[in-house]
Amino acid sequence: MGRRRKRQLRGIGTAGALLAASLLATFILAASLILGESAAGASPAQAAVEYYLDLGGSASVGFQPTAARPNGQPTDTGYANDLLTLERARWHDLQLVQFGCPGETTGTFTDGGDPCRPAGQTQLSQAVTFLHMHPDTVLVTVDLGFNDIERCLAFHIVDEACLTQRLDLIDQQLPPILAALRAAAAPAVRLVGVGHYDPYLGAYLHGGPAVDFSEDSVAAIERLDDTLHAIYAAAGIPMADVGRAFEMTQSEPVDLAGVGDVPRNVARTCALTWMCTSASLRARQHPDDAGYQVIAQAIAAAVPA
């Protein structure tokens, strides 16, 4: 083959290589633009999910009477559901996870025995495992205490000795719960305790001795809230002042439709719980939809910025 022919072939090879390189560069550029557009379009859907972990007793799972279950059942209109909506203004992809169980006490929370889990499992162990596995949990609410003292307010009587004993147990059992949750959670997680309202104010409408009981019950729930507030404060955790949101200590007379003058706290209890209805006793103590919304707002006010 002549030199001229070889030079032509070398020229074609060089040109081909340049053309191939040019096409490859064009392909890479086009691909990067396509991928960039896809990533930009997909970023909202692929944003990291953040979790709200809701812990506690029946109120934490929105327990109230329904047409299907007049004795009450967990619903999707509880305060956790309402709070989820409120907090999505801050955490846009916030997802709700609920481990709460009706009847849960600080004792069963730690040691087991509630009706929601098999033997050997506890709400605390479930929560700790979840927090270890999901460091993207940003909010945890803890709603405990009321079930611990409920037995002390049975039969329209406040048993002060029982109340003192049960509050002492809460004082012993709740701090280790909070410490375990804090240790398992990511450093930036917001923990919020949930205070309590007084459902027994609805007993006022029964008249007679029930009026005195309803008034005495306020002091009992105040003692519970004071105990909880001290425990949460010692752990550096804010507590939602649900009692204030329910105007629990406001006793000036107001008009209650169909009844007449009653203390404001009684009217407020009738408006925000099932206590003044014909629902079963187990269900009556729980908030209605409006009550759960009020609790959610009280918690939102306590969530650290």
- 273-285 pLDDT, tens per residue? 999 998 777 789 9
Span 67-74, mean pLDDT? 92
CA 249 to chain centre: 25
Span 252-258, mean pLDDT? 96
Q: Which residue has the higher pLDDT, 14 or 154?
A: 154
pLDDT of 194 reads 98
Task: Give the dihedral sign, CA 165/205/58/186.
Answer: negative
Bridge partners (DSSP) listed for residue 148? none
pTM: 0.84
What strand order describes the sheet that includes 190-194? 94-98, 50-56, 137-143, 190-194, 239-240
- 134-174 pLDDT, tens per residue? 999 999 999 999 999 999 999 999 999 999 999 999 999 99
Band of residue 15 on the pLDDT scale cut at 50, 70, 90 = very low
pLDDT of 47 reads 58
Is pLDDT above 80 for 204? yes
pLDDT, averaged across the chain = 88
Span 85-108, mean pLDDT? 97
Range from 14-18, 45-49, 237-241 carrying the lowest mean pLDDT: 14-18
Q: What percent of the chain has pLDDT over 90?
A: 80
Span 174-189, mean pLDDT? 97
Is pLDDT above 90 for 106? yes
CA 190 to chain centre: 11
- 29-51 pLDDT, tens per residue? 333 333 333 333 434 445 579 99
pLDDT of 29 reads 34
Is pLDDT above 80 for 250? yes
Which of 263, 239, 248 has its CA nearest to residue 218? 248
Is pLDDT above 50 for 9? no
pLDDT of 273 reads 97
